[in-house]
Structure 1
């Protein structure tokens, strides 16, 4: 009996403070990595101006200047709107700071002291970090939950006020944006009998403006293939020319006249051209000079493309068109009006921001095909998200593994592990596993959404934002909460403990995982954003090995564009932008967090029991239920007030006419206007200038330049 008691006491002692050790392990590792990255950033910032060129610098580091900076950039946010999505993403972060910093300063000290003072002890199953939470409130101290209720009501009202004010500011800023002058509408699924300018114009003459141009899209897939081939040939020619330049510089060639004889064909890179039409030539492996072959192929491809472009009106018509009106108001009305009597025709009607905003491969998809694609894509996204439940749930189980070891006998060895190792196992590993899974899901999600046939890139990003946010919300929030809570509950339910009291005590323990997750995400994202690890690693290690041309170096230095659809929901999920609609959508996503908070508090109030097993928080639950109803009414009013203003512009605005605005840019297929660029590094010997002149004379339709990079005598290239 004594041995059994001793083993039970030892396990209880190990269980005590397990969540605290996990939290400390998570915090310590995250803080160490954060400090190392910040120190490295401060050390190397001036050595890599091409990577850290946007880092702000303050001439005065006095307290007064920092007060002015905080007041201007955070409280009032007096910034010039140059890039809408970037500006409003910064404003979104500022909104989150305004929500959570005051709430943390006010709510955390009150609730932590309230929950900890005269609370339950380890004998009641509450220990470690759990003593600071909801589950530590004493059985006969239910009146303290009124404080939780009042603070939750204040927090809810404050968040609703922030969201309303920010949406009002966004609408005002959007109505001053250049989008107000958009006059070109993209219409898909045009009926066969409307496929003429005269017929289509007669159907659209009811709108209050003249039609300036109607441009029917055509099937330019043949030209697109040639454009892709020409681009590959130009890249290969640039790589070959750069390799020859490096050889010339390393060999010490210093006279321009020597370029024509250096290097000789026998010493230059050779391309084995197999002629499948002649078996003898194929067996002989005829060797052709690399640059000569690429130049000849590039010239032939360019001539063929030019011949196609001169006959572009002979390509088959697609059932879509760009229609430009003389007034932006008419374009706005067209997008909001039902035009055809049959469903699916003359839809969708969109206002593309630019030529680059159009996905040309998706503009010839019929409405029925697009519907089938959307259904299949949604099914595959749902299956993929469901498949992620198991690994995410396992991460939740891992975050509460010490409780699981008490319920499952064969996991008893876990309780014998050192506290430091147990802390790493519970506090650090689960968030890392979830982060890796999220990266994988992003790739699959992006591919499936783009296959739905949406013709506008900004619409694709907005849809990805919705999908990804709800995926994060369900997987990282709900699944982890349930799995982490069940591990703590299973042991006590098996011992015959009452269900309501057990749920009320153990479900809040899942918050330990989210504290670790938020700390890990917050510190890692902020440090990585400063250091830009991907670009630094690419410049120092990948670029010297993989980049063989100036264009490749420029692409690596530029880095990848921010994918707003998957970038913003990460921050939204931690708190519960593109067509310039990322910001209002992210603000609305915050309401999902409010709904979840209301539901959780309502359930927890109903589960509170005193020492006699009686429900003690029915009044708080009723107030919370009424508050949830008010949130629904607020949400409805919010949508009625702002939704019409988020997509289109009101007619009361002074919208410039066609005469007062810049001419509308024709939405021509990119294959009709694209032209490759060959960049040769400039040297001090005059080789590059001679080579540029020769290539310009030979390749008339290709842009040749040597102004983007230089090359040293050792063959090292540097971007300007």
Structure 2
């Protein structure tokens, strides 16, 4: 994502500013030093926010596309009104969660909820720690100055360690309760969402992907004998040669459209300069169609078939020739693939009649031989499948996974080498003093040297940090079967990188190399080493939270990359109606694998410093609050969903937050051990914290054990209810109704869903679940006892959006047949779309193309035109009328 790249650059500025402040750790951090770091970033953030306020209503496609591009919403009921300030109008304050769940996605809702959870933890942490630890630290007599007097480093009396220990017990217990509570809430919410009528009516919710299928089981009858309640089976094929032809065909279409645009636009501008005035008729075409327009060969677009050395050809004639050859050839090969004559691969997709049947098949051992006929995924939509990985054997997948993990591990440990090189650039003057042969650097002009030592390191660091998640995704795409699995794998890898490189290595003021050497030589000293360095580094993160939160929030709202495309880049890059249409209808999504780790790592840092430097919690509260506001606005009004993980990324982030608890406890144990070495008084807090660490391990093990299946599969009691409802709703379709009759049944079901207040109360374990308790006491009870006052039935009835009561429209026979076929097998020849001109050249080109290609390819000049200034415009009022619009099914 372009926006992520820009944010990485901003984060590089943040880190550099904070590091400049952190260089004064030994002398303490003053309030003036903190303000000198915050003020410049605050000014930049304020300017970005003001630009957002100015442009917000002017560029609604950038800042509020979900309010008017109704076809992007699966329910076609997105509100048309302009959004209020940050989305906090009365309506959205009341219905924000419901709106996101119903109109955005489950993943988007949970991502936003993560900021609420971390903000709540940080705020409650301030309430717990500040009243006790601030006085204890401030009067600790450690001789610190500035903000360091509020940290653990200012405590010299070992008796005061008991305060830190007991407050740690209280706060960490609260954090563990929050993680447990949220894990339980997620499980209930997941059950309610995935068993809502909308979700259960999706084909993907009842489809399971099996890999490593033995050759004898790549047969539909054999598979139906193994599995029960099978509705449809897609056996995977290897259309590699066909895929190459499809790609060449589509490239020829893009090449032809670009060449036609270049020629027609140039012709229109010439005619306009001559003062020629073509006339549009009522149909938007020049009256006489200006037949037989002659274009000088030197004005026709050309290109070389190979870069530099290829033959120079007329682009339009070449593209038409390619299409004339490829289109029928692709169609012929697709017919062969559909006929089952292609080579089968070891992967099958099986759709079952109900979600219960699909879940049962997903959990069962399907084959007597281990690792054969494995259920790899459930609920994946066709566009989320990585087809090239489906045919890979289990042992090759294991090798690739092991090798990739080894490479990422190496990356996590040794990434300090390129970062250290970049750090060298910031201290060029020091190098020239120590290494005289580098003296020529002093002769470089000061302006250029300032860029090399100031801006260049930041840009290089930003590029390096941006490349890490991209590299992780590329590695994961070599063996994972779906894009969701790629994002989850990237999340695990990138989180480890963030914790090690962004948190731990930064914490070690003595330098990464020396710390690593000491740990290797004396592994048992790792807690002590970390404990000594952690309090000293707290001032860095005090700034880091507010800077990261402010800059990221401002840049998220500003939406800088789409804004640049509207103002400048789009006019340069979007030269055809197709490009303008695709950019207009596409909503940017969040890359879970790269976004979650960055913000989860912030939560880890806040927890690690909570009892050592509690001031960090205050800045963490503000930072998470700003991030929540920014992402809340974008999720409500601008963001879509590119990859659906069914909330699994959120569940993983909750587990990753426990790393912050472990780091905090280990560091406190190290600090108490240092105190215990000089005084018997320090032994008490040390023993208590060790006991609490053991308790944390037991809690974490029990939580993972209890929730492991609940975050992966659905419970049988709710599936039984879904099965009963599905049989009732599908009874008419099982009688062999036609597609039109099924459509009537579907409309009747939708009307019943809208008129019945409990129609979407699936799953339900009781007929009329009570609403969550209200009032202060009731909310406290619901918060403390979620398993008693919150359930899947309660969430389905009182929290889920009513829109989730709507079932998707029935699938046609063709849609079902093509659902999980390789895209190359089903891809039709793209419509060639050029813009209409008032002189008739576009009409002439359309006729010429139809004459040469026949009926194999559709070409049109409707829906886009060149205005009187020769600029390309297209009709955005109703994108359903655009030639490229397709009413694609929601799988």
Pair in the same fold by TM > 0.5: yes
Q: Distance in 2 between matches of 1:695 and 1:42?
A: 48
Instruction: Tell me if the contact between 1:359 and 1:456 (Cα under 8 Å) persists in the aligned partners.
Output: yes
Offset of residue 315 of structure 1 = 1.4
Separation of aligned partners in 1, 2:463 and 2:541: 16
Q: CA deviation at 1:324?
A: 2.3
Give yes or no for the alignment of 1:158 onto 2:174.
Answer: yes
Tell me which moved more, 635-644 or 584-593.
635-644
The alignment's TM-score, normalised by the length of structure 1, stands at 0.81
Distance in 2, Cα, partners of 1:72 & 1:18 = 43
Contact 2:233 2:349 in 1 (8 A): yes
Check the 8 A contact 1:189/1:320 in 2, yes or no.
Answer: yes
Partner of residue 629, structure 1: 694
Q: Indicate if the aligned counterparts of 2:64 and 2:83 stay in contact, CA closer than 8 A.
A: no
Per the TM alignment, residue 258 of structure 1 is displaced from its structure 2 partner at its CA by: 5.3
User: Counterpart of 1:324 in 2: which secondary structure?
Assistant: strand
Kept in 2: contact 1:271–1:289 (CA 8 A): yes
Instruction: Show the 5 A alignment for 1:100-111.
Output: 100-104=122-126, 106-108=128-130, 110-111=132-133
Deviations 1:143-202 (A, max 9, x none): 333332233222212222222222222222222335545222221111123333333333
- Could you tell me which runs of 5 or more consecutive residues in structure 2 were left unpaired when the two chains were aligned: 1-22, 68-80, 280-285, 436-450, 517-525, 605-642, 731-809, 877-891
Q: Give the secondary-structure state (helix, strand or coil) at the position aligned to 1:616.
A: helix
CA distance in 2, matches of 1:696, 1:155: 73
Which segment drifts farther, 476-485 or 380-389?
476-485
1:415 corresponds in structure 2 to none
Q: Which residue of 2 aligns with 1:147?
A: 163
Separation in 2, partners of 1:77, 1:110: 39
Q: Which residue of 2 aligns with 1:234?
A: 253
In 2, are the aligned partners of 1:189 and 1:367 still within 8 Å (CA)?
Answer: yes
Corresponding residue for residue 365 of structure 1: 392
Cα separation, 2, equivalents of 1:397 and 1:601: 33
Q: Does 1:261 align with 2:299?
A: no
Query: Take 2:564 and 2:499, find their aligned partners in 1: how far apart are those partners?
Result: 32
Question: Is it true that 1:671 corresponds to 2:858 in the alignment?
Answer: no
**Structure 2 equivalent of residue 570 of structure 1:** 598
Residue matched to 2:788: none
- Which secondary structure does the structure 1 equivalent of 2:645 belong to? coil
Per-residue CA distance 1:322-346 (angstroms, 9 max, x = gap): 2222232222122212222323221
Q: 1:67 to 1:429 in 2, by over 3 A?
A: farther
Whether the aligned pair in 1 keeps the contact of 2:25 and 2:539 (CA below 8 Å) is no
Structure-2 change in CA distance of 1:488 and 1:640 (3 Å): closer
| Cα separation, partners in 2 of 1:398 and 1:686, compared to 1, 3 Å | closer
Structure 1 equivalent of residue 625 of structure 2: none
Q: Tell me the equivalent position of 1:306.
A: 331
- 1:143-292 matches, within 5 Å, as 143-175=159-191, 176-177=193-194, 178-180=198-200, 182-202=205-225, 204-205=226-227, 209-250=228-269, 251-252=271-272, 254-255=278-279, 256=286, 257=288, 259-271=290-302, 289-292=314-317
SS at match of 2:42: helix
Instruction: Provide closer, same or farther for how the CA distance between residues 616 and 119 of structure 1 changes in structure 2, counting only shifts above 3 A.
Output: same
Residue 86 of structure 1 corresponds to 108
1:585 aligns with 2:652: yes
The residue that corresponds to 1:6 in the other structure is none
Matched, 1:444 2:471: yes
Q: 2:507·2:533 contact (CA, 8 Å) conserved in 1?
A: no
Assess, with a 3 A threshold, how the Cα gap between structure 1 residues 485 and 158 changes in structure 2: closer, same or farther. farther
**Residue 149 of structure 2 is aligned to residue 131 of structure 1:** yes
Q: Which residue of the partner structure matches residue 10 of structure 2?
A: none
Q: Which has the higher contact order (CA 8 A, sep 6+)?
A: 2
SS of the residue corresponding to residue 239 of structure 1 reads helix
CA contact (8 A) 1:393 1:483 kept: no
How far residue 693 of structure 1 moved from its aligned partner, in angstroms, is 6.7
Out of 572, 576, 589, the position equivalent to 1:561 is: 589
Deviations 1:40-66 (A, max 9, x none): 11122222221112599888889xx97
SS of residue matched to 1:714: coil
Q: Which residue of 2 aligns with 1:279?
A: none
Alpha-carbon distance in structure 2 between the residues aligned to 1:712 and 1:532? 29
Range with bigger deviation, 295-304 or 148-157: 148-157
Residues 375 and 200 (structure 1 numbering): CA distance in 2 closer, same or farther, change over 3 Å?
A: same
Determine the structure 2 residue equivalent to 1:465.
Answer: 491
Structure 2 residue 407 is the aligned partner of structure 1 residue 380: yes
Secondary structure of the residue aligned to 1:99 is: helix
Q: After the TM superposition, which of the residue ranges 475-484 and 441-450 deviates more from structure 2?
A: 475-484
CA–CA distance in structure 1, aligned partners of residues 529 and 694 of structure 2:
28
Residue-by-residue CA offset, 1:412-438 (whole Å, 9 max, x unaligned): xxxxxxxxxxxx999999998765432
Distance in 2 (CA, whole Å) between partners of 1:154 and 1:117 is: 22
What is the aligned counterpart of 2:55 among 39, 44, 48? Answer: 44
Instruction: Check conservation: 1:26, 1:427, Cα contact below 8 A.
Output: no
Question: Any conservation in 1 of the 2:527–2:669 contact (CA below 8 Å)?
Answer: no
Deviating more after overlay: 77-86 vs 15-24 = 15-24
Instruction: Indicate if the aligned counterparts of 1:352 and 1:358 stay in contact, CA closer than 8 A.
Output: no
Task: Confirm or deny that 1:339 pairs with 2:358.
Answer: no
Stretch moving more, 659-668 or 427-436 = 427-436
- Listed as ranges, the matches of 1:610-625 within 5 Å are 613-625=678-690
- Structure 2 Cα separation of the partners of residues 500 and 627 of structure 1: 16
2:172 and 2:456 mapped to 1: Cα distance? 33
Contact 1:30 1:519 in 2 (8 A): no
Q: Structure 1 residues 376 and 237 mapped into 2: Cα distance closer, same or farther (>3 Å)?
A: same
CA distance in 1, matches of 2:305, 2:257: 22
- State how far apart, in whole Å, the 2-side matches of 1:489 and 1:384 are: 17
- Checking the alignment, whether the CA contact within 8 Å between 2:208 and 2:375 is kept in structure 1 is no
CA distance in 2, matches of 1:641, 1:489: 38
Q: Please report how far the alpha carbon of residue 689 of structure 1 lies from its aligned counterpart in structure 2 after TM superposition.
A: 6.4
Find out whether 1:681 has 2:835 as its counterpart: yes
Q: CA deviation at 1:286?
A: 8.6
Q: Secondary structure at the match of 1:386?
A: helix
SS in 1 for 2:233: strand
Which is further off, 470-479 or 344-353?
A: 344-353
Q: CA deviation at 1:236?
A: 0.9
Unaligned 5+ segments in structure 1 are: 1-11, 276-282, 412-423, 491-498
SS at match of 2:569: helix
| Distance in 2 of aligned mates of 1:261 and 1:355 | 46
Find 2:872's aligned residue among 711, 717, 720: 717
Of the structure 1 ranges 248-257 and 599-608, higher mean CA displacement relative to structure 2 is found in 248-257
Work out whether residues 485 and 507 of structure 1, in 8 Å CA contact, stay in contact via their aligned partners in 2. no
C-alpha change, 1:70 and 1:505, in structure 2 (3 Å) is farther
Cα drift, residue 503 of structure 1: 8.2
| Number of residue pairs aligned between Structure 1 and Structure 2 | 658
TM-score by length of 2: 0.66
The worse-fitting range, judged by mean Cα deviation, of 186-195 and 538-547 is 538-547
Deviations 1:205-224 (A, max 9, x none): 4xxx3323332211111111
CA separation of 1:326/1:696 partners in 2, compared to 1, >3 Å: closer, same or farther?
Answer: farther
| Shift, 1:561, TM fit | 3.3
